[in-house]
Structure 1
Amino acid sequence: MALAVETSNENADTIRRGSEATPARSLTVAAEIELSIAHVFIAELNHPKADTNKFRRDKVFWVDLCLTPRRPNSSARFVDHWSPARTLGMGSLIAIPPRMRMELNSAGGRHVSLICQLQASAVEKWLPEDFTWTERRLEASLNIASDAIRPLMLRFNHELRNPGPGSLELCESLASILAIELARYFAAASSTDEKGGLASWRLRLIDDRISDRSLAFPTVTELATLCRLSSRQLGRAFKTSRGSSISDFLTQTRIEAAKRKLYTDTCIADISSILGFSSQSSFTAAFRRATGTTPDKFRKRIRAGSPSR
């Protein structure tokens, strides 16, 4: 169980991404650590053009936190569960379950991800005995807005980038906690409307409204009105359906939109206003909680060519 920093692996694209080797595609491992129940690494990937990859892991949960903005058109499909016409956009934090055949569509470009290959058995021992991968749980795996899981992944990123005394032991503890939190997250995602979740048409309305960039970012009240529910009803039902609160979900979605805008010359105050934050300071605080850095520092790192550090 050793920590390696600033290394590269020519075979990582085949070994870790589960796709056929493609010379035009590149992957560099910037830092990694091998743990008793997980392998964690920072991957710098470059897709020169849009492509589609097949993916499957039988023995691990593949937890991926995109440290740079995930491309807006990146999507995934559970091959054995969804029709060829059905795909779902991926959020910045995803957890692909074991034994699931996936079709991953990349819009191309460069991005950096923190990836944790977490042993399936470490997670599954905490799941209910009657647990099954329902439609809602599969959907929830592709956009995790959890205020318990994201900080664990960000701490992994910090320890890999800045290893110190006890880093190995700390990362071992993080992996164990991550396994429990993932199990809780998926167990909380309900399987049917009768259990208090949102109907599929309401979830589609919410997703479509959030993705409509011609309008200002929606509030919980607006989404509740759209779904013909009270804000309280929406909050309870959304948490049942997606395993996270709707406020956490909206915050993470706004942070991803903010990352994309920070690649432009739009001033930070305007970004804060466009995304519906009450003030620039509240935007900065939310961005720091989600990413571990401020919008200003994130933009400076982008311009220096190192957005993930």
Structure 2
Amino acid sequence: MIEAFSAVVPVFLLIGLGVCLDIFRALPENAHQTMSLYVLNVALPLLLFQIMATAPLESFAHPQFWLGVIAAQFLIYGACYAADRILARHNSATATVTALGGCFCNAAFVGIPVITSALPGNAEALFVAGLFTITPNLLFVVGQVQLAAHDPSRSMPQGRKAVLLHVLRYSLLYNAVFWGMAGGVLVSALGLGLWDPLNRAAELVGHTAAPCMLVTLGLTLRERLAVVLRHAGRHALLRQTALQVCKLVVQPLVCWAILAALGVEGLWLAVSVIMAASGSALVVPVLADVHHAGPEEATLTALVSNGLSLFSLSFFIWMMRLLGHI
């Protein structure tokens, strides 16, 4: 257990470094914005491009993995949405944000760095983690459509074709991470391979993604926490407890159960479960803020779950090692 905990601690030490840099104002005021853009538009796309491009094409043909990972996320999404609508009697937009907070994994910002730390130099583990990061995009599309449809300050385009084009534009066309993965898959499918200097350059830039992601989280942590503490009330405690249990315990267990039932085992099972045990994605509060659907509570969910994920990630890494999956 100590070994598993040690694999996760460096991730949170880098977040702590970001907090210290913020406290001492060691970086320009808008540094976190620049670093976020660098990660999302350059480093992470190149990392995933390099991983996908150098992987054999047959590695992508793993229907049990895709079915299990996607099914687990949508099961939790549906359960959280229904519970918030029925028990809390919240409107559809707020329930959508609650559901996303309970199932949208922080796969890119925390999941990949944890896999890198827990399984250093393991190309297959990084490949599986890269594939996993694709699946939350489906939740993002569904959530974005639901939020836009119920946002009184915004209107979706009229007609099914216009709605589809709107979603594709913002979810795929402007998504550098998607194009990085798609480009890598295309290179693999065509059997082109990567010119060795290009492969090395992409690898060097790509591996700056994880530390930059984590430092960026730390740079904005104090500000976000201050906002949360100003708005959070006593009523949030019960809801937060339920959401954290759902995200950090139930979701990885459901993912584990479905994948095991479908015959997925070994590294593919282990990486998927570990990624599912990461906290709530930080894009959820952003969506909530844009669509005026309880951004304060969404921020609280993301901050608390990412803090507690230190323990959930450590536990599931330990379990996977104990059972011989990694």
TM-score, normalised to structure 1's length? 0.26
Q: Normalized per residue, which structure has more strand?
A: 1
More helix by share: 2
TM-score, normalised via structure 2 length? 0.25
Give the structure, 1 or 2, with the largest relative contact order (CA under 8 Å, sep 6 or more): 2
